[in-house]
Structure formats: structure tokens, C-alpha cells
Chains A and B, each alone.
Chain A
Amino acid sequence: MASAAAGSLPRYVLIRVLLVVPMMWVLLTIVFLLLRVAPGDPVTAAVGDKLSPEALESRRAALGLDRPLVVQYLEYLGRVAQLDFGRTISDNRPVLEIIKNQGGATLTLTLGAFLFALLIALPLGRLAGRHRDTALDAVIRIFGVVSYAAPIFWVGILLVLFVITFVPSWPTFGIASAETEFYVPDRTGIILVDAILANDSASVVDVLQHHVLPCFTLGLLLSGVIIRLVRVNVIQSLKDDYVEAARARGIPERRVVRKHAFRNALVPVITVIGLQFALTLSGAILTERTFNWPGLGNELVAYVTARDYVAVQGLVTFFAVAVVVVSVAVDVLNALVDPRVRY
């Protein structure tokens, strides 16, 4: 029995990774169909008012837009496989370069947000689950609903207003002060890592300070979901036989909750964090706009406004790839933690 379980973990991981291929293919096909089969000509939409008809025609040829759709489709898949997401029409930048330059800001924003979310949600969810149907439960649940329901950009604006009023010196916009951006050499594309590598403590503090508000804002959004989940799980596991058994052995209720019920309630949190990755991306786009954060979300919105099909297609493709990769990573992690998850 034990050997069968041990043998099936690599098999599970292998199958899960192989399933990426069709998943990725479907997503890429959807992205391609949406953006390329849609009516309207990408080149005219982006730069039609700036260039002569001949120049437009040559741009179209350079992008391969004059070739049959099937050829374009196969080329698109081939290029994505080599991590080539094309060049933007409006300002002729490789999309991969945008991802390298701005992706770091989105990454640190998201990771910081998860940190805040867990710090807020785990204790609150446990409290609400343990004291089900009391006033405390009601308050925590309303907090969960409201923090999930509140438009993240509105929460961000209110936090900015609050901070400006009470701590006027605290930074509320951007990822670093102009000074830090000037002095810290760009090595990895992630300014926090660059500042640490440069061994410049003032810059590190500055960058971290800039992270607090955006990460907290995005973290609040995520905490709403996690609170609800932890609460329900604690309630469920408090009904389980092994918890009854622990109580029957005379273990104090506090310890039963902390050591027996809460731990098992945490396993699904990993899955949900993975599932919430999509929500996090959506939230990150809005947070970036609110705090003028130099990340991928802001770039995407700028290119959508500029009606640049290639840039939008490239960035959306990248997001699709990221979603698939994270979902696989979470499933594998879940299988490692929970031995019941196997094929």
C-alpha cells in the first residue's frame, strides 16, 4: 500500500505536466482566434493615422498579416514555443523585453500581496470558524465579504488618502523614489533584488516602503477568499471523528483547534491560492493602475488604449502561459503535501 502510494507520485507529476500541452494549446488557440480573426486590421488600428498607405502595407507584410491565417497560426504557436511574443506595432519593442523589464514589479507586488493575505486571513478565519455564529463570526465574515466585494482600486485610493493625511512623508505612488531608481543599477529587472545586490540599505528600505501600500491593498482582496475558506474548513474539521477523539482524550479546546483542526484546514488553502492566481492577476492590473506601479498590467492597459493588437496578443499570451504554469505548480505542490491526491 505504502509502496503503491510512493510509486504514484512521480506518475502523477508526469501526467500533470503532460496535460499542460493540450491546456496551453487550447488557451493559445483561443487567444489567437480572438485577436487575429476579429474584424479590423491591426496595423491600421494602431498607426493608421500616422503612416502612408504604402508604409502600412509594408508593416503588414513585415508582421506576416498578408499570409493565410493557418500559416499565421502555426507561426504564432512556433514563436510562443521559443518564448517570442512578437514586436509591438505602436512603438516597435519586443514584447519579451517589456516582460523582462516590467515583469519584476508585478512579481514582487503579487508575492508581497500573498504574504499580507496570509497574515490577515489565517488568524481571522480560525477565530471565525471556532466561534461559529457568534457576533465575532459575523464581524469577521462581514469583513471577508466586504474586503472581497470592495473594488480594489477604491480601497487603494482610500488608503492613499488615509496615509497622505496621517503620514505625509510615506510614499504612495510608484515602486521607488526617483533617487533610488537613478542610483540602483539594473541587473535583474527586479528593483528590490537589484537594491539588495547593490548592497544599498537606504534603497532597499525605500523600495520596501513603496511596496507596503500596494501589497497590502492587493492582500486585502485575497484575504477575503482565504478567510471564508479557512472558516469553513475549521468548522468541518471540528466535526471530524479525530477531533472528537482528541476532545475525548481531554485535550483542551484551544489546543484541539490549534493542533488538530486548524492544520488540516490549511491543506486546501494551497489549492485555493493557486486558483486565486487568476484573481490575483486581475487585482494586480488594477493595483498597478491605482499606485502608478511600473508593472505588466499598466503596460497592457496602455497598449489596449493604443489599440496595439500585437502587444496585447503578446502580453495576454504571456499571462495565459503564467496561469497554466502556476496551476501545474500548485497541483504538484498539493500532491506533495496531501497523499490522497493521486491519479
Chain B
Amino acid sequence: MRRSLRTIWQTRGLARYLLVAGVVMTAAFVVLAVFAPWIAPYDFAQNTTDAGERLPKLAPPSGEHWLGTNDQFYDIWSRVVWGARTALQVVLLSVFLSALVGVPLGLLSGFTGGWPDRVMVFLMDALYSFPSLLLAIVFSFLLRSAVGGGVLAAALALTAVYIPQYFRVVRNTTVSAREATYVEAARALGARPFTIMRKYLFGNVVQSVPVIGTLNAADALGTLAALGFLGLGIQPTEAAEWGYDLSRALDDTSAGVWWPALFPGLAIILLITALTLVGEGLNETLNPALRRRRLQPVRFTALAREGGAR
């Protein structure tokens, strides 16, 4: 951890600043998501005040409703805050699950080799070549009857879409690491295949997972919003979701009503950009091929001491 922080610090150019900007923006959304009940003035599906008075419909942004209200009498600021919670829940769950399935599968496939590996690679490549939104649509279509239309269903649909990415990267690094001398040494010592995978290969092949994970999180967020926009994602009764709010805003655009469309979209783009910046920044600072080092000040401590002794 400390070493990778130092690596980041020693990198030259824009990469470092982009990374810091991304981390700060992501942190802001995490705060919104975690403290949503205290930050949001209303519940996500609350269209009356606590006194039972109905909120106005399509009221423009004002001191009362900072970002205005939408066509369902909801306070948009509250919807944006609660939407952050939904987005982070779904994205964390799906990234975690797809890494949980993809990484061991890739490790096993790459280590075993032979025809099972070939079959797996072919299968995963086929899935990977498929348009991700289409795959997500198919999975949410299928999961609707089994799991319903909540956070879990959306997360599972996205999980299925992103498994191939982890599989490919982990499998390829495993294949090249398998022939390394230290693995051969382990084998010569009589280590069992499972031990080699767990103790020798795992640590070496998971290094790229954080980068893919953050970039996938950004992508998954976009897919989640897209599903919501098409009306195939999280059902409005389950949670606040930015994509769904945008689909509601679509009808009012021709009347020039901009606030229901602007703010949820702004939230999506800010969070996606933040996650992308973190991912790209990590990639550019941790990947030695892309990275440009800063010149480090050289301290001649040994020489100075010698000089002092003389």
C-alpha cells in the first residue's frame, strides 16, 4: 500500500492530478450515499411534506426545492441523493460478484490449460463480443421473474456482463506466470496445484484487478442507468434510480423543462467520470509501460558524512 502510494507520488505529468481529482469526487458521492437519510430532505418516494401537504409538480429550482421537483411530485435533490445510494450499492455488488466469479475461473482455466481452457476462452470471448447493454437487457429480462426488479436483480444482470473481463485478464496473466521459474520451483518442491494457485499465482495475477474493477464500476454505472432509462432496470417502487428519472424527464423536454433531466444526468456523469479518472490514473501510475517518472531529488547523505569526517 505504502509502496504503491509512493509510486503514484513519483509519477510525472497529469496522471497524478487526475487520480486525486477522481478520488475526491468519488468520496463525495460515497458521503452522499452513506448519509442519504440525513442529507436528503425527503424520502426517495415521498411526494408530500411531513405535514401531508402535496409537493408541487415540476416546480423549477428554488430555495424550497434546490433542484426543483419532477413530474411525479418528487423533490429532485432527494432523488439525486438517494440515487447515489442505489448506484453505489448496485455497482459495488456487481463488481464484487463478477470479480469473485471471474478471477478464480480465469486462474483455474489458465492454470489447467488444455481443452477445458480453450472452451472457456471461446465461451468468454463470445460473451465479451456481445454488446454489453444487450446482454444486460437479456439478463434483466430473465431475472425479472426469478429475482424481481430490485437492487439485487440489477446487480446480478451487470455481474453476468462483466465476468468475461476479469476472466480474460486473469487467465492471460496466469498462462504467462505458470511457466515462471518460481512456479517451477514450487512444483519441484512438491506443491499441489491448489497450493500453487493460491500461494504463488494468485498474488501475481490479481494486481490488474483494481484497475479493471474501477473502470468496470464506471461502465456498470452507465449500464445501470441505461437499463433504468429503458424502463428495464430497478423498478421505481424499489429505489431511486437516476436512469429511470431521466426517462421520466424525456416527455417534458419538448416543453423546455430542463431541471428533471439536467441533475440526475449530471450526477451520473460526475460519478462515471470520477471512477474513470481513478481507474485511468491507477493504470497510468501503476503500469510501468505508460508511466513517466518525475526526477527525484538525490540526497548525497553518505558523501556528506564522509566529507564531514575529513
Contact = CB atoms under 8 A, between A and B. Distances in A.
A49 interface: no
Nearest to B144: A307
Contacts of A146: 269, 273
Contacts of A149: 218, 222, 269, 272-273, 276
Contacts of A102: none
A145 B273 contact: yes
Contacts of B269: 146, 149-151, 154
A282 B132 contact: yes
**Chain B interface, DSSP helix/strand/loop, else mixed:** helix
A172 B251 CA distance: 12
B14 interface: yes
The 6 closest A-B pairs by CB, nearest first: A154-B265, A282-B133, A149-B272, A278-B131, A281-B131, A26-B126
B134 A282 contact: yes
B31 interface: no
Interface of B: 13-14, 122-123, 126-127, 129-134, 137-139, 141-142, 144-146, 218, 222, 225-226, 229-232, 243, 246-247, 249-250, 253-254, 256, 258, 261-262, 264-265, 268-269, 272-273, 276-277, 280
A311 B130 CA distance: 18
14 contacts: A30-B127, A31-B138, A150-B269, A153-B247, A161-B256, A164-B253, A278-B130, A279-B131, A282-B226, A285-B137, A307-B141, A307-B144, A320-B130, A323-B129
Given A22-B122, A279-B131, A312-B141, A151 B230 contact: no
Majority-rule SS of A interface residues: helix
Contact of B222 (A26, A141, A151): A151
A145 B15 CA distance: 13
A319 interface: yes
A23 interface: yes
A164 B254 contact: yes
Contacts, number: 140
Contacts of A282: 131-134, 226
Contact of A286 (B123, B138, B230, B268): B230
B141 to A, nearest CB: 5
A316 B229 contact: no
Contacts of B132: 278-279, 282
Residue among B131, B261, B269, B277 with max Cβ neighbours from chain A (10 Å): B131
Given A151-B226, A172-B254, A305-B232, A157 B137 contact: no
A113 to B, nearest CB: 14
A290 interface: yes
Contacts of A150: 265, 268-269, 272
A39 B142 CA distance: 8
Interface string A215-244: 000000000000000000000000000000
B253 A157 contact: yes
A153 B122 contact: no
Contact of A157 (B134, B138, B249): B249
A148 B268 CA distance: 12
A160 B246 CA distance: 13
Contacts of A40: 145
A150 B271 CA distance: 10
A158 to B, nearest CB: 7
Contacts of B146: 39
Nearest to B257: A161
Contact of B261 (A158, A172, A281, A305): A158
A149 B126 CA distance: 25
Interface in A278-303: 278-279, 281-282, 285-286, 289-290, 300-301
